[in-house]
Amino acid sequence: MSHGAGGTIMQDLIVRIILKNLGGSNAEVPLEALDDSAVIDNIVLKSDSHTVKPLFFPGGDIGRLAIAGTVNDIAVMGAVPIALTSGFIIEEGFPLSDFEKIVKSMGQTCSEAGVYIITGDTKVMERGAIEKLVVNTSGIGKRNKYLDKNIAEVKRYRSFKSRWLLDSNLRKGDKIIISGTIGDHGVALLSFREGYDFGSKIVSDVAPLNKLITDLLNVGGIVAMKDPTRGGLANTLNEWSDKSKVGITVYEDQIPIREGVVAACEMLGIDPLEVGNEGKIVIAVVSQKAEEILSALKKTEEGKNAAIIGETTDSFREVVIETEVGGKRILAPPIGDPIPRIC
């Protein structure tokens, strides 16, 4: 299971087997970049498979998750999704009424995001070959009309060579913003699946964020964006630090987390920083624009709990978390996934 958990073990599998055999394209953002999406001939391309358990959970279902996941991976590159595909693999005997509910939810999430599924595939496998339903969604996107304006704003303050918002774009002095509370999706799924009661109901944050992202690009100054899904905030920050060759300092007391999520994670011995989110974005922005981006976020429903949580430095190369009591520790990339089967 760790080979699919989004941590260092999966990373190793990807490098040793997948990149070794499938790399080598001349795409502008190739497979080897391991970014949220690829870019070729100005087309942004992404593919995602979803194996969530259970299929219906507080705040969403596998259908909403599939659409939001692909839309967000395209949007965080600085693109707008223009069309999606869907591939269904259905277990023999799966109730058609449940299948219809899921497809309906996909349709609703597509209209929320302003995008259509325009091609797809349906397969049925014999009972026991898979568990209920697997959904693959792929998507293409084109350059956001505000991306050049956003980059021009970055260039008022520092040099910037990339044409897209990549994991490798961070430089010393950038600020790190999170668009809202972390851990909601993973903890909502785990509590529901295992029947835990943590006193307050936690609901998944799963949502398409492409419209919010367009508004933020219009403000400008963003150098990178990422949806902290599998591996959570810890994985996102480590990928940025590694690919951009910068250190990142994060202030623990600035990270927004719901009380119920803190309680659940303490009880289960899970680090909320490693828990997957499906409706959040982490934003790296030139420091001069951080407050403006933050206030644009706070004006929206999805971004009302946004916060500036850290900054980049060239005095070290790791991700360092400053704790509430003033201590410092290295925030390592997650090895596996504290909560499997959530996306």
What are the tokens at 336? 């596996």
If we measure between CA atoms, which residue out of 228, 128, 245, 127 comes closest to residue 184?
228
Q: How far is the CB of 239 from Mg ion (least distance, A)?
A: 10
Residue (228 or 260) nearer to Mg ion, CB: 228
- The reply on whether position 36 binds Mg ion by CB under 5 A is yes
CA distance 281 to 303: 9
State which amino acid sits at residue 263: A
Q: How far is the CB of 266 from Mg ion (least distance, A)?
A: 27
Tell me which residues in 116-145 interact with Mg ion (CB under 5 A). Answer: none
With 0-12 / 13-18 / 19 or more C-beta atoms within 10 angstroms meaning exposed / middle / buried, residue 266 is exposed
Residue (153 or 227) nearer to Mg ion, CB: 227
Classify residue 111 as left (phi > 0), alpha (psi -120 to 50) or beta.
Answer: alpha
Q: How far is the CB of 300 from Mg ion (least distance, A)?
A: 20
Q: How far is the CB of 89 from Mg ion (least distance, A)?
A: 22
Cα-Cα-Cα-Cα torsion 275, 68, 11, 191, nearest 10 degrees, comes to 30
Residue (6 or 220) nearer to Mg ion, CB: 6
Residue (48 or 153) nearer to Mg ion, CB: 48
Residue (70 or 105) nearer to Mg ion, CB: 70
Classify residue 119 as left (phi > 0), alpha (psi -120 to 50) or beta.
Answer: beta
Q: Where does this chain touch Mg ion (CB under 5 A) — which range of 29-37, 59-67, 104-112, 232-240?
A: 29-37
CA distance 331 to 237: 9
Rounded to 5 degrees, φ, ψ at 277 are -120, 155
Q: How far is the CB of 167 from Mg ion (least distance, A)?
A: 10
Q: Tell which one of 35, 48, 61, 73 touches Mg ion (CB under 5 A).
A: 73
Q: How far is the CB of 47 from Mg ion (least distance, A)?
A: 12
Tokens 């070290």 locate to: 316
Tell me which residues in 208-247 interact with Mg ion (CB under 5 A). Answer: 227
Query: 10: part of which helix (H) or strand (E)?
Result: helix 8-13
Residue (189 or 264) nearer to Mg ion, CB: 189
Q: How far is the CB of 225 from Mg ion (least distance, A)?
A: 9
Residue (153 or 167) nearer to Mg ion, CB: 167
Count of residues binding Mg ion (CB under 5 A)?
3
Q: Which residues in this chain contact Mg ion in the complex, by CB under 5 A?
A: 36, 73, 227
